[in-house]
Amino acid sequence: MLTEILVQMPQLPTARDEMLEEWHQACRTGDEETNIINDFRHNYDPTKALYWYTRDTHLYRLLNKALRTENVDNIYKFRFFIVDLHRQLSELFQSSIPMNHVLTVYRGQRMTIREVENLRHNHHGLISMNSFISTSVSKQVTQGFLAAPKKEEQEKTVAVLFKMTISANIARQTNKPFADIRKFSSFSKEEEILLSMGTIFRIDKIEQHSSDSFYFELTMCMGNTDPQHKALYDYAKEEIACTKKMNYSTYGKFLALMSNFDSSIAYYRQVLSLVPDQLQLNDTDLATIHNDFAYAYRDSRRYQEALKHYEIALKIRLKQGSTHEEDLATTYSDYGWLLMNMNDIQKALDFHQRALNIRERILGHNNGDTAMSYNCIGLAAAYTGDFDRALTCLNEALAIRQRCLIACHPYTAMSYTSLGSYYEALSEHFQKKNMRDKALEYYSRALDIHKQALSIYKTSVPPTHGTLGSAYASVGSIYLNQGQWQEAIENLTACAAIRRKRGSSDLANTLNRLGQAYLGKGEYQQAITAYREALTVAEKTDNKTLVIQLKTNIEKCKQNSS
């Protein structure tokens, strides 16, 4: 998806200079490379992208390192060149590759044992190439890339030969072109076929020829024919708004959805700093940028900054009038989420109702955005204690989604999560009235519904997605409150693993709950370990209340274990 975004989104006027600066900083001690950079600066044009890619320079190495390590910030710095390279490869593909052409190509490379084992464990599964892939029609040519380096790398490597079957039809349908680039290449004797980044293959065959030699057969494929894979892909596109024309906001939204909030915020600041001197935006694009900028602030819990940008977006969209009502509904809805997070529930309800009114009129009842508005109103109503209205709206949201979406869609899981939260709130309501049996009944129902949501998220979002972490947290927290320590430990451990990888601001609270579960089970050493990690995280986020609580918890564990 990153490829689609980079290739289709409009380029900022600073893109070329940013890449050249990164290139210069990486090799500033070399006069020869400086001359090459100057050559690029003065003589490069988009029709020479393939030539520059195959030329033996730091540009090739820096680009492939960024792509190989999947460092989004570094990849973005090379977007200027990636776009030209993809476009020239696409043009060559369209003009030179017949419609039904199927070709066998080879690639030889050294790989670490760990990398090979990962591929072996994925036999018959799919792999996506995270960089442009150089191959050859000649098996003999690839043999030269299999020799062990004179000086072995830090991690032992083995020789791997790939035989790849590539299809012009699939390449066209997936927009992952390939082409013979010999006439553009600095190394024309290599009979090189270059494949686009993001090309997906199925691993059909694996052979081990010796202790340090492996052979793989791969077949290019669509990648999203499986309903669950397609649902995940479509969900991600819908979240980033890739179904509409890509604009200057798309990349920042992509970063925010990956929880890369600092990079997202830095990107939006950069875009707005160019307006209006270097970048002219119409009101629609400007409102979208402020709306999505607020989204990044909101989901990183910087609510005052989010408030400021939602206000700007709302002001612009109210001025635009009836021709942009769908966009206005989006801002009302997103702003409403922020207000709920800030506990301004009545105003949130008002904004979500405004969004619903517009969506029912323009988009109709059986629409995903309409369902989202019902979902938000239901949650807000539950927070105010209006449980009848809450249940009606939440059930309506679920019914719409069940009619419009496949069963494993993440938005269906969202409805179950919201219903789980509703039954938790209802349980708390009866608990306050000393109606213990009712409270326990609804709490058990909340657990069952949260488990339904979790089972869907497991199959419909990536394994490190924030919503999956939240689903584990919901289930684990209920088990914790019920005194089911082992079940709580399993779910909170899974949640902590996701939040640790994502650098989530909720990690400290998750680890605190995990420590409580270990404490309840009498496993004091594990409890201390969880509390100490939570303390380290809490101190970094300056959560003073939690820091004091964790220090107290650690001392209690030490006393109990002695």
- pLDDT at site 242: 47
Has residue 215 been placed in a domain?
yes
In the chain, % of residues over pLDDT 90:
64
Has residue 9 been placed in a domain?
yes
Which of 332, 352, 377 marks a domain boundary? 332
Give residue 153's pLDDT band: very low, low, confident or very high (50, 70, 90): low
Are 445 and 529 members of one domain? no
- pLDDT at site 355: 98
- pLDDT at site 322: 85
- pLDDT at site 66: 87
- 543 against 202, higher pLDDT: 202
Has residue 358 been placed in a domain?
no
Measure the CA–CA gap between 111 and 125, rounded to whole angstroms.
19
Has residue 350 been placed in a domain?
no
* pLDDT tens digits along 446-463: 999 999 999 999 988 888
C-alpha distances in Å from residue 408, one per residue of 223, 361, 396: 18, 28, 18
CATH code of the domain in which 181 resides: 3.90.176.10
Single-letter code of the amino acid located at 289: I
Are 542 and 514 members of one domain? yes
Work out the widest C-alpha separation in the chain, in whole angstroms. Answer: 83
Has residue 345 been placed in a domain?
no
Q: Name which of 137-151, 433-447, 506-520, 547-561 the model is least confident about.
A: 137-151
Neighbour order of strands in the sheet with 192-195:
126-128, 200-210, 213-220, 157-167, 102-112, 133-136, 192-195, 178-180
Measure the CA–CA gap between 556 and 534, rounded to whole angstroms.
15
Are 146 and 207 members of one domain? yes
- 235 against 27, higher pLDDT: 27
* pLDDT tens digits along 458-496: 988 888 888 999 999 999 999 999 999 999 999 999 999
Give residue 309's pLDDT band: very low, low, confident or very high (50, 70, 90): very high
Per the DSSP assignment, residues forming a β-bridge with 106 are 136, 163
User: 10 Å Cβ neighbour count for 339?
Assistant: 21
C-alpha distances in Å from residue 76, one per residue of 6, 64, 541: 8, 13, 28
- 3 against 90, higher pLDDT: 90
Q: Name which of 224-238, 422-436, 542-556 the model is least confident about.
A: 224-238
- 185 against 146, higher pLDDT: 146
**Could you give the 3-state DSSP secondary structure of residue 218?**
strand
- pLDDT at site 140: 84
- State the chain's mean pLDDT as an integer: 90
> With 80 as the cut, is the pLDDT of residue 152 above it?
no
Average pLDDT over residues 437-454: 97
- pLDDT at site 243: 46
Give the single-character DSSP code of 321: G
CATH code of the domain in which 372 resides: 1.25.40
Has residue 277 been placed in a domain?
yes
> With 70 as the cut, is the pLDDT of residue 150 above it?
no
Q: Any idea what the Cα angle at residue 206 is, between residues 99 and 193, rounded to 5°?
A: 35
Which tokens sit at 63? Answer: 């680009």
Measure the CA–CA gap between 446 and 26, rounded to whole angstroms.
54
Are 132 and 216 members of one domain? yes
Reported as type and span, the H/E element at residue 485 is: helix 485-502
Task: Give Cβ neighbours of residue 22 (< 8 Å, ≥ 6 apart).
Answer: 62, 74, 77, 78
Single-letter code of the amino acid located at 127: I
Are 141 and 201 members of one domain? yes
Task: Give Cβ neighbours of residue 539 (< 8 Å, ≥ 6 apart).
Answer: 547
Are 193 and 277 members of one domain? no
- pLDDT at site 27: 80
- pLDDT at site 443: 97
Give the single-character DSSP code of 148: P
Are 120 and 232 members of one domain? no
Burial environment of residue 321 by CB neighbours within 10 A (0 to 12, 13 to 18, 19 or more): exposed
Which tokens sit at 552? Answer: 């107290």
Has residue 400 been placed in a domain?
yes
* pLDDT tens digits along 335-391: 999 999 999 999 999 999 999 999 999 999 999 999 999 999 999 999 999 999 999
Give the single-character DSSP code of 344: -
Give residue 219's pLDDT band: very low, low, confident or very high (50, 70, 90): very high
Are 372 and 450 members of one domain? yes
Which of 413, 445, 461 marks a domain boundary? 461
Measure the CA–CA gap between 507 and 469, rounded to whole angstroms.
10
- What is the residue-wise DSSP string for 389-424? HHHHHHHHHHHHHHHHS-TT-HHHHHHHHHHHHHHH
Single-letter code of the amino acid located at 157: T
* pLDDT tens digits along 70-93: 788 888 999 999 999 999 999 999
Average pLDDT over residues 42-66: 90
b/e map 21-49, b = 16+ CB within 10 Å: ebbeeebeeeeebeebbeebeeebeeeeb
* pLDDT tens digits along 220-245: 998 665 555 565 566 666 666 544 67
Q: Name which of 53-67, 180-194, 247-261, 302-316 the model is least confident about.
A: 180-194
Determine the structural domain holding residue 559 and report its residue range: 466-562
Are 518 and 455 members of one domain? no
Q: Any idea what the Cα angle at residue 114 is, between residues 111 and 115, rounded to 5°?
A: 45
Burial environment of residue 13 by CB neighbours within 10 A (0 to 12, 13 to 18, 19 or more): exposed
Average pLDDT over residues 167-184: 91
Measure the CA–CA gap between 16 and 24, rounded to whole angstroms.
12
Q: Identify the top-confidence range among 207-211, 276-280, 291-295.
A: 291-295
Are 10 and 108 members of one domain? no
**Could you give the 3-state DSSP secondary structure of residue 121?**
coil
Measure the CA–CA gap between 496 and 510, rounded to whole angstroms.
6
Are 167 and 106 members of one domain? yes
CATH code of the domain in which 471 resides: 1.25.40.10
Work out how many domains the chain is built from and give that number. Answer: 5
- 264 against 188, higher pLDDT: 264
Give the single-character DSSP code of 10: P
Percent helix, percent strand, percent coil in the chain, to nearest 5: 65, 10, 25
Measure the CA–CA gap between 312 and 191, rounded to whole angstroms.
55
- pLDDT at site 241: 58
Task: Give Cβ neighbours of residue 546 (< 8 Å, ≥ 6 apart).
Answer: 508, 509, 512, 534, 538
- pLDDT at site 147: 75
Has residue 340 been placed in a domain?
no
Are 489 and 450 members of one domain? no
> With 80 as the cut, is the pLDDT of residue 263 above it?
yes
Asked if 213 and 158 touch (Cβ cutoff 8 Å), the reply is yes
Which tokens sit at 217? Answer: 């057969």
Which of 286, 311, 332 marks a domain boundary? 332
Helix (DSSP H) and strand (DSSP E) numbers for the chain: 26, 8
Average pLDDT over residues 399-419: 94
